[in-house]
Structures are given as C-alpha cells and as structure tokens.
Amino acid sequence: MEEDTHYRIRFSSLCFINEHVGFQGTIKSSPGDFIVIEIDEQGQLVNKAIDEPINAVSKIPELNSFAKKPKLDLQNLSFEDGSYQELNTLSRCSDGDQNHQSNSEKEDTISDRAFNCEEENDDVLNFFLDEKTNELLNQFACDVKEKWNSETELIGPSPEFSLGRILDKNQRAILHSAIRQKFPFLITVGKNSEVVIKPNLEYKELCHLVSEEEALDFFKYLDAKKENSKFTFKPDANKDHRKAVHHFVNKKFGNLVETKSFPEQTYSACDPNVVITVRFREKTKHKKRSLLECQERKVIYTAFTLRKENLEMFEAVGFLAIKLGVIPSDFTYAGLKDKKAITYQAMVVRKVTPERLKNIEKEIEKKRMNVFNIRSVGKPLRLGQLKGNHFDIVVRNLQNQINDSVNLRERIFEAIENVKNKGFVNYYGPQRFGKGRKVHTDQIGLALLKNEMVKAIKLFLTPEDLDDPVNRAKKYFLQTEDAKGTLSLMPEFKVRERALLEALHRFGMTEEGCIQAWFSFPHSMRLFYIHAYSSKIWNEAASYRLETYGSRVVEGDLVCLDEDVDEHFPSTKVHLVTEEEESANTYTIHQVVLPVLGYNIQYPKNQVGQWYQETLSRDGLQTCRFKVPTLKLNIPGCYRQILKHAHNLSYQLMGDHDVKMEGSHIDESTLSLLISFNLDASCYATVCLREVMKYDI
C-alpha cells in the first residue's frame, strides 16, 4: 500500500483566520510539557479533590449477589380456581435448574430430569387443553417431524396450528413455555390473545450441523432462560465445523447468547477435542418492573478521575478492564485525551464497586496511571458531557520564522494577542486522524461507511515501515490472514488489535466474520472511525469556506442563533442567511457554522454546499444515508462553529529548562513559552497553537 503523502500536506494546507507572521517551536518534548485537565459541566477541574468519603457505598453488594427473578414463577400465580395449586410442582421444570450439558458425567441424572420435565409439561397441557385439542397438537407436531425426516421441503406458507383465544395472560404464558419445552422443534406466537404454533425452522437448520438430540436440548435451554446457566455441545475436533456452529448461533441468537470454544476437560494431545459452550448475555433492563425491584437490581456505577501519562486512552481503558474483570465498553467518558501528555479526565465504570477500584491503585501505577476521587454515582457518562478542557503547555526551541528578522518576543506577543481577540479556526486536530504514515482513521471510517468491512479490517491492521513487534505482527497478518498466528505475535498491551484478531480467529476473514470482529470494539469506538472521516471533510470544508468568502457572512451561509451552544444543537437553531441579511451585515463570522456529516443536517446554499456534494461524490458517498445497520451505527450529524476563542489565556517566557522565571536576562536561543488557556469541549489545543504560531507543530 502506498504511503498517503497527500495526507501529510492536507493539514498544513488548511488556511488561517489571522494575518500575523507567527513563530516556530516544539511542543510535547515530554509528556509533562502538555498537561490536559478536563473541566466538568459545573466548571470544575476534575483533578481537584472531591470531599466525599470513598466508602460511602461500601455496603453495596456485587451484581452477582442479586437473585434473578425466574422466567415464570408458577408458585406465585394467583388464580381464582383453587385447583390451580396442583401446578405448583411444575415450577421446577419451567425454571430449569440443570446446567443443560449434552455431554456430561451426570448424564443419567439429566436424563431423569428431562424425563420428569416432559411428564410435567404433559400435565400442564392436559390441564389446560381439552382432549381433542391436545390430540390435534400432538398430531401437528408429528406431521412436522415426519415431513422434515422425509427430507421433503414444505411447499407454500409454513403450517400453523391455533389453540384459539386464551384470555388469561398467566395461562397463555404457561402454555407457551410448556409447548416449547415439550416440542423444541415448534415455536409459539401470540396474536391478540391467540396462541399459534408453527414449525421452528431454526431448529431444522441447526439439525444440519449437530445431532437432533443436541438441537432439542439447545432449544430447551434457550426457552428456559435460566440465569448463569450454560449449554455445551458435544466435543468436536473439526475446526471448520465448530466455526459453522459458532456462526449459526451468533447469527440467529447473538443478541441473546454468546459462544466460546474450550478444550474438553479430558483434553490430550492425541485427542484434541474442543467443546462449544453457550451462555446467556447479561440482560438489559426490563420495561416493566416494580420500583422495589428496580432498586434491588440497580447497576453499580463508580466514578473516578483518571490520570494517565504518555498513554493512549483506549489502551488505558483496556488495561483497567483486564484488571477489574470487565470489558472496555463498561467504561464511559466525556471525551478523548491526548497520548503524549499528562491528562486528567472523569470516567465512570459499570459493575465495579469503589472498593474494588481502590484495590488496583498500586497495580496500575506501573502503567503510569492513577485513579482518585473514587465515588458511587447513579449513571454513566456520555460523550460531550463536559464544559471543556484546561491546558498548561510548554513550547520549546522558540525561533523566528524563516527569513523573519523581527524581535522574537514581539512576534510572540503579537501572535497571542491576535488569537486572543480574533480567535482561531476550529479545525479538528491532527491527532483525530492517527499518527500513521500509511493509514489514517478517516480512511477506515470511509470504508465502514461504504460497508467495505474486509477492507476496513485490512486498513486497521496495515503496518508502518517500522521493525517492531506490533508492525511485524500486522505485516504477518496481511501476508497470511492467519489471525491465530498473528495473535501469538501481537503484544499483550495492544488490546484493540488483539480483540479484533480473536474475533477474526473465531469467525473467519469473511465479510460476516469482519462484521463480527468490529463488534469486539465498543460502540463509541466504532463511531470514532466514522467521525474521523466526517472530521476530515469538515476541516476541508471550513478551509474552503474561508478561502472562498473570507470573514464575510454571505447568502446561503448557515448561522447558529444561540450564543452559547455545543456541537449537538438541532437544525431548528440553524438559520440560512438571506440576501437581505448579507447586505445588512446581520451576522458575524463567529456565528457561522458548518455541518458535520450525517443524515439529519442541512448544507449551506452557496458554493460551500456544492463543495460538500462534489466531495461526497468523489469518495463514493453520493447516496450514503450515514447509517451502517450491520454495525448498529447511526450518524445523525451535527454543526460546528468555524471560529472559536481560547478563554483565560495567559503566558510567560522562560528559560528552556526552568519551571519558574529566575534571574533577569534570558538567552533567546533557549527561550521557551509557557501558555495556559481553557477551550470549549471538542476544541483542540494543537489547533489553537497552530493559529498562534502559524507553524505546523
């Protein structure tokens, strides 16, 4: 793959709003030269101590200590007819207390239990259905099985059998469960109080992959929905066959269960059998719950401030997830932070108590991380839930621009005062696009928008021209597409790469396999790549707008009518400038906004709008709806102000290695600039500095 030389000049070609000369310098000589502190919605710096006892929620138990409500509690049903009490004993069958293993040392016990369940299901059906209906139901089931066994395809619509209308909701629930347990090859459907029975085509499909006995047991397991239970298919030494079973279960029931392969307990080198184990995913909240039950099942959320040094945020989250026994998507945060810096940001982790988080404090210090301000909260964070960021930055090796002989101090003063007064162009920073020389995050995002899943995977795993373990592993993958072999080469700290490779090893390097692999990333990270592409387009659009019209507000521009807004304001607050408003100079350039790509935005009605359409056509997105259903991604879009201001900006000149000013004269050859300021959320300090210095840092 050729190096993207165009990209390297792409950011440097973006125009400025100020006309001063600027100066040169170096940032991020060390992480301590670039300090970022998040400002929360209340305007407080998140590195300040919070006066709240850490053990305030010490009595909150772990999630797994909560008792799960059974799917159907027959013992607690209230019927008018006292004879219904006979059904109390059947709750044992509906709740399903077995572990549902088709190949177990307790085979006899399970068989006895299954036999008892079948008898009890018969009792339920005999109790609720008259003799004729029960006989017709059994005949319907036999007919379905006979046709399947004869291998003749069912012609026309799928056959149905109706039990008629059953008004009592509890009776319907009992019948649904009993029929599915007795006849796993059938499904039941509710239609206006009517119970309708149909062939279970998914059962038939599974029978092509596993034995009928396994298929029966698997669908019984699915219907029982017993929390923390597992189902295990018979040992299988055929890797391709196991892949097919994994694929079937995840495709049909992936929102309900997850699958994993494990070596059989009696594993030996000469008998390399592997079993596929199925377990239920953690359930999301139910729509109907009593207040008491909601309180009992309330998810634990622990908030904290994360300090990290010279560490990518996703890498930090991955490391914390491993140490806490959760997954990266259990962490929420308000925004992404720089890698080569010391950063402070608020985070919330789900399913972890404050005490548990405190227990890993010493361990994570080795990874240049600290956690503090640990406390219990009631909900997660969301992206954008911050007021902004505070920056303390040291710019070293200051010098004049080439062929500029004016006093350097005057140039620095002039530049900072200009940006103080006029602001800076609100570009997305270059770190949003990654530091790779061959592939950038916006290229991956474009591939995802075009549903080119395999291409997106290959772009993600494209190596740089460096001879290190990570790039050697990536190079091996592109040459072989051997996910398992690449995993053995990929360093443990590359959490995202390893997660992707594990999924590819499991699902294969097919289009469907690559889709499943992208689901190994949290939703926010899948969005990150698409947002990177949208950000690249916005940057180019903003530069084109300023080059075309300058600081004038012209007809067809979009302006925001509110003074204090973030990016996520609705289209109703966006106004299209008219010819009369242009003539009257009704609006200023600081009110002009441009759309960030999505399905719910409008474009300017001037040359800038035409530029957007031509650019989308160039990239093959002329018909793109900005939705990627296969990855569960919807991109509504938003608006972003062209210009922004730095707040509370202050600065001082100092000796290159001095923290404080000491002495009188400073040698300009070792001059450094310490600059501090606040920026609104989603603004970039490197972009602000670029405008100040007129130099691509």
DSSP state of 387: S
- What b/e readout covers 262-301, taking b as 16+ CB neighbours within 10 angstroms? eebeeeeeeeeebbbebbbeeeeeeeeeeeeeeeebeebb
* 338 noted as active-site residue: yes
> For the purposes of burial, counting CB atoms within 10 Å of the CB of 644, is it exposed (0-12), middle (13-18) or buried (19 or more)?
buried
Phi, psi of 244 (to 5 degrees): -65, -40
| Beta-ladder partners of 675 | 393, 651
- Per DSSP, the three-state class of 301 is strand
- Cα 434 from Cα 440, distance rounded (Å): 5
- Cα 365 from Cα 343, distance rounded (Å): 14
Written as six digits, the tokens of 117 are 């369940």
Written as six digits, the tokens of 228 are 């923390």
Half-sphere exposure of 523 (CA within 13 A, CB side): 13
Q: Are 553 and 592 in contact (CB under 8 A)?
A: yes
Written as six digits, the tokens of 441 are 């995050």
Q: Name residues whose C-beta falls within 8 Å of residue 20's C-beta, 6 or more positions apart in sequence.
A: 411, 414, 415, 418, 694
Element (H, E) at 309: strand 301-309
- Per DSSP, the three-state class of 277 is strand
- What b/e readout covers 575-594, taking b as 16+ CB neighbours within 10 angstroms? bebeeebbeeeebebbbbbb
Written as six digits, the tokens of 176 are 């649904």
- Quickly tell me which residue has 């299209």 as its tokens: 576
Active-site residue, selected from the candidate residues 330, 338, 557, 680 = 338
Q: Are 560 and 552 in contact (CB under 8 A)?
A: no
Written as six digits, the tokens of 359 are 């227990």
Written as six digits, the tokens of 4 are 């993207």
| Beta-ladder partners of 390 | 37, 678
For the chain, percent helix, then strand, then coil, each to nearest 5? 40, 20, 40
In whole angstroms, how far apart are CA 196 and each of 165, 180, 472, 569?
9, 12, 58, 47
The greatest distance separating any two alpha carbons of the chain, rounded to the nearest whole angstrom, comes to 106
- Per DSSP, the three-state class of 85 is helix
- Cα 358 from Cα 306, distance rounded (Å): 12
> For the purposes of burial, counting CB atoms within 10 Å of the CB of 37, is it exposed (0-12), middle (13-18) or buried (19 or more)?
buried
Strand duo 558-560 + 369-377: pairing: unpaired
First CA to last CA distance, the chain? 27
| Beta-ladder partners of 596 | 638
Which residues participate in catalysis according to the annotation?
Answer: 338
